[in-house]
């Protein structure tokens, strides 16, 4: 008995199959492969650990409105940098009038900036007064432990007249809950532990970098750290209302879209005041 072998599928049959598949996908969208669905912004919103940097949450939470008036003669211009900016053109910044800089040294107890040497030493080599900062993650380890990690990662202080005291960058958590899952009193305790250990290790009061809205939300607008210089984050024409305890700021991050390096800052005083802070 001869065996019947099917012939090629006719174009009409192919058309019908395609039509049925299209109708099925419209009626049952869940059956479409996830690989065919483009990712939404929410799906990629959480950055990789270690990638945090000063002010990365400011625009989202506080907005951005205008630039400050005044000149660099009365408020010395500075910048802050992190690994995402790579090798920085320090000579370009120097020629543009920037005279001081901070480099991210560490985050939590799990990250050291791989560009730290080029950024920290490079700014110094062109004549700038430089310092280092630590991005705090109070949900991963204690304040004292992170202060030790920071100092051991290059965040110490040297009495050479051109090294600024280290900065604690404490702001919105880019990896989760804005206050890192801590109550206001627990956050104050964590910050105090960091500051006390840094002072014990270096002999200097660390600078506190923060935004007023975050400070109010996550510390209850605690006013007990006035001995520490304040670095306020606000992208506007004025520094605005300051957190409790400080009547004035020492530094002000006023934009994330400046020339050469986006994050630009002003010191509350001319270059001689920057030199005085470095000298201790």
pLDDT at residue number 255:
96
Per the CB < 8 A criterion, the answer to whether 212 and 243 are in contact is yes
pLDDT of residue 30: 35
Pairing of strands 167-169, 129-135: parallel
69 exposure class (CB count in 10 Å sphere: 0-12, 13-18, 19+): exposed
Give backbone dihedrals phi and psi of 107, rounded to 5 degrees, phi first. -145, 135
The CA angle 89-91-96, to the nearest 5 degrees, is 100
Percent with pLDDT over 90 in the chain: 80
- Residue found by looking up tokens 């009547």 in the block: 247
Tokens of residue 153, six digits: 């990662």
Q: Token digits for 112?
A: 């050291």
177 is catalytic: no
Tell me the C-alpha distance between 96 and 89, whole Å. 11
DSSP 172-190: --TTS-TTTT--HHHHHHH
Say if residue 20's pLDDT is above 60: no
CA 164 to chain centre: 19
Mean pLDDT of 244-248: 98
**DSSP letter at 70?**
S
pLDDT score of 67: 85
Catalytic-labelled residue, pool 107, 171, 263, 265: 171
Q: Which of 62, 77, 80, 265 is catalytic?
A: 80
* DSSP states of 136-157: --TTTS-HHHHHHHHIIIII--
Structure tokens at 177: 């809950």
Of 153, 222, 159, the C-alpha closest to 187 is 222
Decide if pLDDT at 5 tops 70.
Answer: no
Q: Hey, what long-range contacts does 6-13 have (CB within 8 A, 24 or more apart)?
A: none
Mean pLDDT of the chain: 87
What is the per-residue DSSP string for 195-253?
HHHHHHHHSSPPEEEE-HHHHHHHHSS----TTSPEEEE--BSS--SPPTT-SS-SEEE
Instruction: Give yes or no: 39 in active site.
Output: no
pLDDT band at 65 (very low <50, low <70, confident <90, very high): confident
What residues contact residue 109 under an 8 Å CB cut-off, 6+ apart?
A: 140, 141, 145, 146, 149
As beta bridge partners, residue 251 has 231, 267
Mean pLDDT across the stretch 218-242?
97
Q: What is the pLDDT of residue 29?
A: 36
Catalytic, 36? Answer no
pTM, to two decimals? 0.84
Which is the catalytic residue, given 107, 148, 169, 263?
A: 169
Q: Under a CB-based contact definition with an 8 Å cutoff, are residues 113 and 86 in contact?
A: no
Give the DSSP H or E segment for 210.
Answer: strand 207-210
- Predicted pLDDT at 15: 43
Distances in whole angstroms, Cα of residue 213 to Cα of each of 61, 65, 79: 8, 16, 22
Long-range Cβ contacts of 23-26 (<8 Å, 24+ apart): none
Q: How much is the pLDDT for 18?
A: 46
Is pLDDT at 180 greater than 90 in this prediction?
Answer: yes
Residue position matching structure tokens 């939404």: 40
Residue 239 is predicted with a pLDDT of 95
Closest CA to 113 of 103, 102, 100: 103
Higher pLDDT, 10 or 35: 10
């Amino acid at each position: 008995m001869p065996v019947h072998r099917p012939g090629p599928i006719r174009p009409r049959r192919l058309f019908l199959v395609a039509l049925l598949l299209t109708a099925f996908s419209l009626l049952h969208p869940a059956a479409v492969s996830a690989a065919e669905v483009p990712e939404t912004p929410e799906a990629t919103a959480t950055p990789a650990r270690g990638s945090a940097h000063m002010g990365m949450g400011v625009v989202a939470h506080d907005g951005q409105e205008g630039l400050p008036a005044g000149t660099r003669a009365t408020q010395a211009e500075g910048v802050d940098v992190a690994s995402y900016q790579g090798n920085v053109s320090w000579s370009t910044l120097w020629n543009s009038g920037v005279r001081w800089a901070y480099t991210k040294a560490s985050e939590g107890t799990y990250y050291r900036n791989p560009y730290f040497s080029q950024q920290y030493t490079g700014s110094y080599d062109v004549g700038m007064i430089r310092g280092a900062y630590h991005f705090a993650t109070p949900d991963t380890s204690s304040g004292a432990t992170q202060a030790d990690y920071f100092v051991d990662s290059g965040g110490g202080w040297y009495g050479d007249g051109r090294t600024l005291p280290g900065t604690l960058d404490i702001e919105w958590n880019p990896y989760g809950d804005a206050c890192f899952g801590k109550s206001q009193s627990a956050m104050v305790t964590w910050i105090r532990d960091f500051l006390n250990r840094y002072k014990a290790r270096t002999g200097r009061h660390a600078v506190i970098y923060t935004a007023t809205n975050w400070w109010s939300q996550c510390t209850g607008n605690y006013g007990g750290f006035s001995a520490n210089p304040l670095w306020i984050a606000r992208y506007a024409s004025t520094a605005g209302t300051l957190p409790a305890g400080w009547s004035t700021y020492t530094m002000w991050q006023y934009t994330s879209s400046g020339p050469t390096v986006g994050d630009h800052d002003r010191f509350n005083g001319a270059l001689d005041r920057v030199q005085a802070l470095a000298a201790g």
